Amino acid sequence: MADLAKRFSNNPIITPADIKPSQEGLIVECVLNPGAFKYQNKTGLLMRVAENAPSTDTTISVPLLDESAEGGMKILKIDRKDPQLKATDPRVVNYKGDDLLTTVSHLRLAWSEDGKHFTVDDKPFMMGQGKYEAYGIEDCRTSQIGNEYHLTFTAVSGNGVAVGHAITNDWQTVYRKGLILPPHNKDVAIFEEKVNDQYVALHRPSSPGIGGNYIWIATSPDTIHWGNHHCIAQSRPGMWDSERVGGGCAPIRTDKGWLEIYHGADNKGRYCLGALLLDLNEPWKVLARSDQPIMEPTAPEEKAGFYSQCIFTNGHTVDGDTVTVYYGAADTVICGARLSIREILATLDV
Amino acid sequence: MADLAKRFSNNPIITPADIKPSQEGLIVECVLNPGAFKYQNKTGLLMRVAENAPSTDTTISVPLLDESAEGGMKILKIDRKDPQLKATDPRVVNYKGDDLLTTVSHLRLAWSEDGKHFTVDDKPFMMGQGKYEAYGIEDCRTSQIGNEYHLTFTAVSGNGVAVGHAITNDWQTVYRKGLILPPHNKDVAIFEEKVNDQYVALHRPSSPGIGGNYIWIATSPDTIHWGNHHCIAQSRPGMWDSERVGGGCAPIRTDKGWLEIYHGADNKGRYCLGALLLDLNEPWKVLARSDQPIMEPTAPEEKAGFYSQCIFTNGHTVDGDTVTVYYGAADTVICGARLSIREILATLDV
């Protein structure tokens, strides 16, 4: 079992204590799963900040986006004895027949000169907005295409878990492009260059009944409308990615193919990272895939937290042979690690 | 409870006995859920034909598309005592961890001079093909746009339940356009004219966890790539469409708006038809929706069959105020009925 990652000595690099809540009365429970990018010689992280409101012995608090107000959140307080409340999962409660999240996430920026030490913005960069984001926005990828950054994020609401898209070129003004994929879908990353004059993206639909949590690929003329869907990676019974797989951020172009670092979870819910190698011209063709993880939860902050035994990445930066992976550890804090692209490719026997 | 339908006196108009199996050794279990269209002064139905292979006291037969042969199906025979077999649902068995369908569907044409008496083709019009249709193709809509018929159908395989698209203009040659929506999705109908210079389609994603079986709408520049997804109809607790809803075929343009006949199922799994009225220029805006069904299972062939208490439509023809709805009854036979567009609109209070 090879773990190719050289973890930062200052891990975790960002923790909930570093984050100012988005409004009074809220608690930052977790900071995790950042998109990563370069902008004006700085490294930027677009992090997911998950907030909650204090619960008590007698009430459970559920934060909800306040659609009637100017952004911000309202707190629904539910009596723990209410017969219409079902609360068994730490992440989701059911109230009056509706599934509600116990935390609501927004996206927050952090900046660094050296890629290791970050300063977190005081305010959110993007909050959930409107009927498709009432339960928040999560796990944003930040693909750079020319001067534009294409943000793709999970939009959660009672309508389902769908994929939102927005564009910025200055990290000040954001142009929202609506939902580019309907429920149930997440883990969307747009490739940072066109292939055969089409945009390409990885996505991860989930199915009730037949089908599973598999990685798919699609193409688009404009990043707004998507078609030509192909399944490129199923979960693999008996292996480290037996239960679910999902793409990370945009793949890295190498001589051998598009190198994608993805996550897989086994039947114990343990999340590791592995690699997929996709054909440069026909990226729906898989050339190689990791038999073993290239990185797995071994550090204390990866082994225990809000969701233990979990490494999840949706952001990295690349400098020559070095890919610096930013990742959520145990869904609670953000860490960094460096891997060699050459070493990853070597494990794929290509 | 109003049932606005004037059923054909010769219902059911097509039954499994009318259908020649696609190959020796197969049994036609059900014929159902046809797309409907006009072509060269005839009414055409593109029906779903569900076939099975005979099971015995000791073995269960599961048909599978034979990807290695030239179309056609192979039969997997499973010992009923095999510990890796789970068979409790009449529609799906689980074998070695995979969900498999007990029937596999293909699409077959039937033609009529009067819209009431049909002659069924001897051979399939389209069989499942390739890795996304290994378990068959189902419930095809046949939207006519100019001289082209846009076929949208459910493509079922171990990858999930997705949406295939194909085009024909002569009902002889079919041009396949790949998967236009990933799993889990079905009930896709493309509007028969553009709105604001974009193609528009209804679709019905299903979600594990948060979300449900709701009707969505999307737009496309080319019918291949889809975006701008909006949820237009959720299921409604306590009502006739409390558990799931899904679009029928392309909506009818009326002075009041786009009139869509859709299906809804309640918590007993009873499928009825109702109506949605959508804004002509902004069809993601719902102007009205049926409080009560406009048609419900009352005839014997609708009340009992492979899936009892079920009316399901994905095809109609329109002549002035009259819409002739073709529908699957109890998932077993095909029936027809006429409704008045004016009367449907009257129930919507518009």
Single-letter amino acid code for the residue at A21: P
Nearest CA in chain A to B230: A179
Sequence-distant (6+) residues with CB within 8 A of B235 are: B212, B213, B214, B241, B242, B243, B244, B245, B264
* Smallest Cα distance from B181 to chain A, Å: 7
CA B115 vs CA A128, B76, B110, B150: distances in Å: 51, 39, 10, 21
Which tokens go with A314? 């949706």
Contacts of A224 in chain B (CB under 8 A): 227-228
Q: Are A49 and A31 in contact (CB under 8 A)?
A: yes
Question: Which of A88, A157, A198, A226 to mutate: most B Cβ within 10 Å?
Answer: A226
Question: Is B68 buried (19+), middle (13-18) or exposed (0-12) by CB count in 10 A?
Answer: exposed
The residue in chain B having the minimum alpha-carbon distance to the alpha carbon of residue A94 is B210
pLDDT in tens, A287-314: 999 999 999 999 999 999 989 999 999 9
* pLDDT tens track for A197-215: 999 999 999 999 899 999 9
ipTM of the assembly?
0.94
- What residue segments make up the domains of chain B, in order of their start? 6-347
Ramachandran class of B160: left when φ > 0, alpha when ψ lies in -120 to 50, beta otherwise? left
Segments of chain A with pLDDT less than 50: none
Dihedral sign computed on CA atoms, order B189, B195, B199, B202: negative
The tokens for A158 are 């009672």
Report the Cα B89 to chain-centroid distance in Å: 21
How many beta carbons lie within 10 A of that of residue B122, not counting itself? 9
Bridge partners of residue A165, in order along the sequence: A152
Contact B184 A209 (CB under 8 A): yes
pLDDT at B75: 87
Determine which helix (DSSP H) or strand (DSSP E) holds B41, and give its type and residue range: none
Q: Residue type at B228?
A: N
Lookup: tokens for A40: 């004006």
Pick A229's closest partner by Cβ from B162, B209, B237. Answer: B162
Whether residue B280 contacts residue B270, with contact meaning beta carbons closer than 8 Å, is answered with no
Tens of pLDDT along chain B (350 residues) come to: 579 999 999 999 999 999 999 998 899 999 999 999 999 999 999 999 999 988 888 999 888 887 765 567 888 899 999 999 988 777 788 888 788 888 999 999 999 999 999 999 999 999 999 999 999 999 999 999 999 999 999 999 999 999 999 999 999 999 999 999 999 999 999 999 999 999 999 999 999 989 999 999 999 999 999 999 999 999 999 999 999 999 999 999 999 999 999 999 999 999 999 999 999 999 999 999 999 999 999 999 999 998 999 999 999 999 999 999 999 999 999 999 999 999 999 999 88
Residue contact A210–B160, C-beta within 8 A: yes
* Residue A292: C-alpha distances to residues A2, A289, B91, B139, B237 (Å): 7, 9, 37, 41, 46
Residues near B268 by Cβ (< 8 Å), separated by ≥ 6? B309
**Model's pTM, two decimal places?**
0.95
pLDDT attached to residue B265: 98
B225/A181 Cβ within 8 A: no
Q: Are the Cβ atoms of A208 and B203 closer than 8 angstroms? A: no
How many beta carbons lie within 10 A of that of residue B63, not counting itself?
Answer: 26
Beta-carbon separation of A225 and B206 below 8 A:
no
User: Can you give the pLDDT at residue B1?
Assistant: 54
Please state the length of chain B: 350
Question: Which residue in chain B has the smallest CA separation from A220?
Answer: B225
Residue among B161, B216, B227 whose CB faces A207 most closely: B161
| Beta bridge partner(s), residue A50 | A30, A105
pLDDT at residue B69, rounded to an integer: 58
Coil, helix or strand at residue B347:
helix
* CA distances for A258 relative to A280, A326, B84, angstroms: 6, 19, 38
Q: Which of A131, A177, A214 sits opposite B159 (nearest CB)?
A: A214
In this predicted structure, what is the pLDDT of residue A66?
A: 78
**Residue B227 half-sphere exposure toward CB, CA atoms < 13 A:** 21
CB contact under 8 A, B160 and A135: no
Distance CA B239, CA B325 (A): 23
Query: A-B interface: how many C-beta pairs under 8 angstroms?
Result: 149
Instruction: Give Dmax over CA atoms of chain B in angstroms.
Output: 61
> A271 is written with which tokens?
């999340």
Maximum C-alpha span of chain A: 60
Q: Measure the CA–CA gap between B106 and B129, rounded to whole angstroms.
A: 10
Q: In terms of C-beta distances under 8 Å and separation of at least 24 residues, what long-range contacts does B84-92 make, across chains too? A: B85/B60, B87/B60, B90/B306, B92/A209, B92/A210
3-state secondary structure at position A3? coil
Which chain A residues contact residue B161 at CB under 8 A? 207, 209-211
Question: Which residues, in sequence order, are CB contacts of B98 under 8 Å at separation 6+?
Answer: B158
CA distances from A263 to A139, A182, A242 (A): 13, 22, 11
Q: A127: Cβ–Cβ under 8 A, 6 or more apart, which residues?
A: A22, A65, A71, A72, A106, A107, A137
Question: Token pair for residue B139?
Answer: 């419930």
Q: Which residue carries 């100012």 as its tokens?
A: A20
Closest residue on chain B to A205 (Cα):
B183
How far is the C-alpha of B59 from the C-alpha of B76, rounded, in Å?
10
For residues A259 and A252, give the distance between their C-alpha atoms in angstroms, rounded to a whole number: 5
Structure tokens at B283: 């069809």
Distance CA(A77)–CA(A61), nearest Å, equals 5
Chain A residues with CB-CB distance to B222 below 8 A: 221, 225
- Least CB–CB distance from B160: residue in A156, A205, A221: A205
Cβ pair A209:B234 closer than 8 A? no
Distance from C-alpha of B48 to C-alpha of B16, rounded to nearest angstrom: 11
Closest chain A residue to the Cα of B222, Cα to Cα: A225
CATH of domain A6-347: 2.115.10.20
**Residues of B in Cβ contact (< 8 Å) with A233:** none
Are A179 and B228 within 8 A, CB to CB? yes
Binary contact (B225, A229; C-beta < 8 A): no
Which residues of chain A does B178 touch, with a Cβ-Cβ cutoff of 8 Å? Answer: 227-229
CA distance A252 to A260: 6
Which helix H or strand E contains B220, and what residues bound it? strand B215-220
Nearest-Cα distance to chain B for A248, in Å, is 19
C-alpha Rg value of chain B to the nearest Å: 19
- For B282, the 3-state DSSP assignment is coil
Residue with tokens 């039969």: B75
The reply to whether residue A159 touches residue B211, judged by beta carbons under 8 angstroms, is: yes
Residues of chain A found within 8 Å of residue B157, distances taken between Cβ atoms: 210
Locus of tokens 């949590």 = A213
